[in-house]
A = this chain, B = another copy of it.
Amino acid sequence: MTQSAAAFEQSLSAYAEIVEARLASLLDGSPRPAEIARPGQLIEAMHYGALNGGKRLRPYLVMQATRMFAGSDEAALQVGCALECLHSYSLVHDDLPAMDDDDLRRGKPTVHKQYDEATAILAGDGLLTYAFDIISSPETLVPDAAKVALVLELSRAAGIGGMAGGQMLDLAADRQQPDEAGIVRLQAMKTGALLRFACEAGAIIAGRPAQDRDRLRRFGEIIGRAFQVADDLLDVTSDAATLGKATGKDAAKGKATLVGLKGTDWARAELDRLVAEANALLEPYGSQAAPLEEAAHFIAYRKK
């Protein structure tokens, strides 16, 4: 690992600890104003589903994008936690028997295995709903206009025209193989949309004009594509010991990926191209953009 890659991973994991601590305090048992009670088992299952040792890449992007524009660290942390609740809900629901039917996640029983299916469905619903609670709460110190923009962008990134719609297309893809354009669209919806939101959120939190929002949004879309190509490439080229999960899963499932369609050489060249395209968008921000450039590099060339 190069020195800068090591420093990046250290920075990422240090921030993951900050995110975990905030998530734990957001998901404690004490009811907030207008809440009647927080049922213990539901809180416990949400905690279990959200505090699962993830890399917390999405909150990290929110934080670095916000810092690039000199926005509030504290607001970025709140919005990052909201985004992580939303990401966690998607994992909990995707693992359900009726969906991808996974028993393990990061080597631990999935939420419906640890508790039961009803609890997993409700924990997912609870995490999804709580994301919007966190953004709109008085503790998130951004102006109302920014909160409204964050709620709108997050709901569109996560909903029918984004992540939830992408999961629907993914389930359909098992029956009917999509073509190249279909795969690109599916992945942009299923994984790209939340990464897009993470980056754009920084510009919104910092109160930047539309031009900066568009730039960061586009940067997020491109690193979202890189994220998926890297994921599909690792599934083909890595081994289970390095990756910490089974490899060759896509081929075994007969799942259509761009790497499967166009090969690993194409994928490596595509990652170079995407990183260059993403970083070119950050040129106006000069050296302030270095942490986001490193994040793009990490996303494209990570080993797990």
> Which A positions have Cβ atoms within 8 angstroms of B?
31-39, 41-43, 46, 89, 93, 96, 98-99, 116-119, 121-122, 124-126, 128-130, 132-133, 135-137, 143-145, 147-149, 151-162, 164-169, 171-172, 185, 188-189, 193
Contact = CB atoms under 8 A, between A and B. Distances in A.
A277 B106 CA distance: 53
Contacts of A143: 144
Nearest to A149: B136
A136 B148 contact: yes
Contacts of A172: 39, 41
Contacts of A132: 132, 151, 154-155
A162 B126 CA distance: 10
A151 B135 contact: yes
Contact of A189 (B36, B144, B188): B36
B130 A155 contact: yes
Nearest to A31: B161
5 contacts: A31-B161, A35-B165, A42-B164, A93-B125, A144-B147
A92 to B, nearest CB: 11
A129 B193 CA distance: 14
B118 A171 contact: yes
Copies of this chain present in the complex amount to 2
B34 A161 contact: yes
B38 A165 contact: yes
Contacts of A153: 34
Q: Determine which residue in A145, A148, A158, A160 has the highest number of CB atoms from chain B within 10 A of its CB, and name it.
A: A160
At the interface, is chain A mostly helix, strand, loop or mixed?
A: helix
B129 A185 contact: no
Of listed A137, A144, A148, A193, residue having the most chain B CB within 10 A: A148
Contacts of A126: 159-160, 164-165
A35 B156 contact: yes
Contact of A160 (B38, B162, B189): B38
Lowest 5 A-B CB distances belong to which pairs? A35-B161, A98-B117, A129-B159, A133-B155, A144-B144
Nearest to A134: B155
A120 B32 CA distance: 30
Nearest to A101: B118
A168 B122 contact: yes
Contacts of A89: 125
A86 to B, nearest CB: 9
Contacts of A31: 161
A129 to B, nearest CB: 4
A136 to B, nearest CB: 4
